[in-house]
Amino acid sequence: VDRILCNPPFGKQLGRPEEIGPLYRAAVKEWNRILRPRGRAVLLVSDAVALKEAAVEVGWQPARRLRVRVLGQPAWISAWRKE
């Protein structure tokens, strides 16, 4: 897989906010497994800190981050590179 584009759950309607960190860690770990070296992932998330922790854990490098609003809720578009 060369590229991943995903909008994982925000933890607002289903689940609890404290479940987002473990969800992002599990998802990033799997994406890292299938993403080839120099691949990219662009993710729309509600918790940029939880995503950053998960991405750094697998060795991804940040490419860009943009703050946005989705249906009035704060969110981030976050781009990452796998080295």
Whole-prediction pTM: 0.89
Backbone phi, psi, residue 73, to 5°:
-95, 135
Domain range 3-81, its CATH number among 3.40.50.720, 3.30.565.10, 3.40.50.150, 1.10.3210.10? 3.40.50.150
The sign of the dihedral angle between the CA atoms of 11, 51, 19, 33 is: positive
What does the pLDDT read at residue 12?
64
Q: pLDDT of 35-82, one tens digit each?
A: 999 999 999 999 999 999 999 999 999 999 999 999 999 999 999 999
Q: pLDDT of 1-35, one tens digit each?
A: 999 999 998 766 556 767 889 999 999 999 999 99
* Structural domain spans, the chain: 3-81
